[in-house]
Structure 1
Amino acid sequence: MLQRIGHFASKTFLIWVLLVSVIAFTVPGLFSGVGNWIPYLLGIVMLGMGLTIKVSDFKLVFKYPKPVIAGVVLQYTIMPLLAYCIVKAFHLPPDIAIGVLLVGCCPGGTTSNVMSYIAKANVALSVTITSISTILAPVLTPSFMYLFAREWMDVSFLSMFASVTKVVLIPILLGLLIQRFFKSFSEKSEDILPLVSVIAIAIILGAVVAGSRELIIETGLLIFTVVIAHNVLGYALGYFLANVLKLNYPDKKAVSIEVGMQNSALATSLATVHFNPLAAVPGAVFSFVHCVTGPILARYWAKRAERFDKAKRSLA
């Protein structure tokens, strides 16, 4: 039963995100005070990631290093550089600029693994890239923010490093330890983890939307335009450069999805802790946008794969 509920929660993730966003926007009072819990909710999501990461996920680095290294490098080059170029091109105000840069400097999100599965991409590669980019986040996210964002605001590398370590690295390591020393509990928890993650991410998004309602109304069109451009160009450049590197088709799809889909919940959490409410809005909008564009892209690729399989069977 728990397994079925978990699968249902994963498959209907987009519906819950949209529903919670609408509720938070129309009845913001329901989420009053929830914003203070965002780092803890993100920690729960990361704990779940730690409970599901397998040693075999990292073996792929040694078996097929090229697509893994390519995916991680493209993740941490395309999205930060793209964010910086978009911020400059649109002449964004400092608070919004910081929020967009935060999204670009974060690792890939776990939702990308589900999208890779739907798209019939290389799911093992997707999981490996997500895991490695997330583990590298405590160093790389503050480093890129320090490099790109100083033009708009003072960024403390050490302060941000401590935040990312607390909400990302420590929960993941705790999850790995539980998996190592409490194996039966870890195995049983896998059935309910998708549901817990969906609830936590939906509440994070709801809290930010509710807390930033007036700011979203005021700057909504600009932020949506910027975020959609960032997200869609991330997919396109990820696929194009994976193609230049001559990766195979399932790997190209996985890399494209990994690059385009960011851990926007982390960006939202960091903006809430280190900057101000307006800086959290791009992360909230990105969460919404990539939960729409991701399934559209994944289903397009899935249909292409189905047509190719049918053509192959008919020729046989």
Structure 2
Amino acid sequence: MFHIQGKEFIELIPRSFGGNLAICESTSHHPGYFSSSTCTTRNEYFDILYFTCRFYQDIRVNALEDITHVSLHFQLRGHSDARISGLNQPLGMKPNVHNLLNCVAPVSDFIFPQQDHYEYICVGLKPSFFQSILEGCGEIGDELLRNAAHQKPFGLFKESMATDFHQLQVLRQLKDAPIADSLKPAFLLSKVRELTLLTLGKSSNPDAISGLNKEDITRLYAVREYLSLNFLQAHSLEKISRTFLLNEFKLKAGFRKLFNTTVFGFIHELRMNHGLELIQAGGYSIADISIKLGYESESSFRRAFKLFFGMSPAAVKKG
């Protein structure tokens, strides 16, 4: 296992609050160890980190010192483990889970296993901004507000929770805001607030995944990870059930319960987002993209795209 000191690693993912909206992108290559790409978007209230990395071997980050902040962790792909000062339990993250942490002058150790696709979004909140959100949350926010006001470290969930469709939608809009630059500060602020409220809302529903045992949940996460990597292939519930040793009822009901969408709704979302990326990247005609996504006709793709995004592929292409 390769060890790296926190003061070196923090340069890849610096956090700060203050000033007008600023966006910064960077890449880092350490041959034989890891290659990463970072995009940060920040102002005086929030700091949004989008971090992707390929780890060529197991990496341990030692004693990473950070500023006091509230952290909304969203693991999109890959695995990691963390020990954060002030929190009693280690934080294990796997694909499509999240947590909310109140980090008070944290010193953290991280372990990143060898993996090809690590993708992570952290929305850091300035403590005073987080407290202003809690003030409008009634009973749900009262205890959290007391702990935050007294700078008490805490995690919202004992174990990281599944990220649902609504949270993923907001994360997509934070990553690629579909709005004019002049309106982006207000738009992002509203979306950060929305994401925080969606996450806080999960704390009032602790039985959201009741009826599923740990083995079922592990298998359903494996299904989602598999579909995330193979969404352009043809799938059937029968084949997925057989592959992952789940009966069809548990696959359908459990997937919806965990991820707040259906199996094919999830595949559709992935295909639409991939289509959007291809359009924005250029180099492909709408007809080519419709074929890549498995549509029988260009017109079918156009209708599906407009229903999903509220605008036509041609309008996106024009910019």
Instruction: Give the shorter-chain TM-score range.
Output: under 0.3
TM-score by length of 1: 0.28
Structure with the higher fraction of residues in strand conformation: 2
The structure whose residues are more often helix, as a share, is 1
Higher relative contact order (Cα pairs below 8 Å, separated by 6+ residues): 1
Structure showing greater Rg: 2
Q: TM-score, normalised by structure 2?
A: 0.27
